[in-house]
Structure formats: structure tokens, C-alpha cells
Amino acid sequence: MSWVQDFGWKKKAERLRMMILAGAPLFEIDPLMLRTLETMRKGLRGQSSRDEFEQTLGELNTSPPSAGSSFLWEPIDIYGWAVSATMYLLDGKPWWLVRATHKKPQPSDKEITMVEKVVGHLGADPVRDRIMNTSFDAHGYGMWWTWINQTQLYEFQTDRQTKDFRVVPEGTPVPVGWERVDRNKVREPKL
């Protein structure tokens, strides 16, 4: 019998938060992708039509964002939700982008409350910062949020010999034998 440690939602969310604050690549968002997020926000608030949303998505599919501005998502699973988070830059400032999907076409109020707690722990106002909240019928349910980061960014530093690493506030002096990991060169981001 193998023993697997089960983390509660707060520990999973905190781990995700630190991974994003320390390691998410920070690229300026592609203007078309920004327009897509804004169209999602307007649609949720009843300020745009379904046609406008589909037109923007069509443009996104025919002219994908440049490679440097696509997203690298970090995932966790919590209470039936597949939650993924990343960051992007807008005018040089870091913004969070979080998406959550559920297999059910209409999750229960309790399941929605749980994912909102997770997103709140990451730093969002779960209602104000939501840009999508929709059922895809047989394909499940999806919610997205975006908000400006209001907390300290972190960075990874590694020991060149032992390959140990540490997570420290961004800009922390690097000890002898250690090196700062460039968050934009860790992995090639994907949309």
C-alpha cells in the first residue's frame, strides 16, 4: 500500500499561488488576446453580443497571438474543478489569469463556492474579477477571472552544484554558487 499525502484546498491553492508568483513567464499580452478577455468580460456583464464574442474568437483562431505572449498554465484539481493559473503583463504590470472547468454542465452551489474560495485565496474578488461564467452543456462548465497582481512577486534561485532551489522575494541577492532562474526562459509558453 502506498501512502499519498492529500493536501486540502488551501495548501493546493497556496502552492499554485507561489508557483505563479515565482515562475509564471511574464510577457506583454498580445492585443488580440487582451481584446478576447475584454470581450469575455463585456459578455458576462451583458455589454456585448454573442456575435461579437464569436467574431473575436474567430480572429484569435485565424491569427494566433505571438509565441512570446502566449500563456504557460499551472494546473491543480480541487473538488471536481480543474483550475489553471498564469500571469501576463499589461503595460508592464503583472496580471493574473485563472480558468476553472467542471465536468458537470451545472455545478452545485457548494462546488461553485469552493472554486470561488480558491480564486479568492489567489487574490481575486471572485465576483468582480470574473470574466466568464458559462455552461457548455454536455462539455461541462467554465469560469475565468483576471485581475492585477497586488502582492510580492517571487523568484527561483538554484545552487549550481547541488541543484537545490529556493523561492525568495524577487530581487533577493544571489548567494555565491547560486543563480537566479529567468522565469521567461524556464519553458516555452503555450496558449
Convert the pLDDT of each residue in 94-122 to its tens digit.
999 999 999 999 999 999 999 999 999 99
- pLDDT for res 64: 59
- pLDDT for res 13: 95
Mean pLDDT of the chain: 88
**What is the distance in angstroms between the CA of the first residue and the CA of the last residue of the chain?**
39
**Do 143 and 77 lie in a common domain?**
yes
**Do 86 and 136 lie in a common domain?**
yes
Assess if residue 126 is contained within a domain: yes
Q: Which domain holds residue 157?
A: 152-182
Q: How confident is the model at residue 84 (pLDDT cuts 50, 70, 90)?
A: very high
- pLDDT single digits (tens) 24-52: 999 999 888 898 899 889 888 888 777 77
- pLDDT for res 162: 94
Assess if residue 56 is contained within a domain: yes
**Do 52 and 138 lie in a common domain?**
yes
- pLDDT for res 44: 87
**Do 122 and 160 lie in a common domain?**
no
Euclidean distance between CA atoms 46 and 166, whole angstroms: 45
- 157 touches 23 (CB < 8 A): no
Domain count, the chain: 2
Statement: residue 191 has pLDDT above 60:
no
**Do 90 and 168 lie in a common domain?**
no
The reported pTM is: 0.86
**Do 88 and 159 lie in a common domain?**
no
**Do 109 and 68 lie in a common domain?**
yes
Euclidean distance between CA atoms 32 and 121, whole angstroms: 29
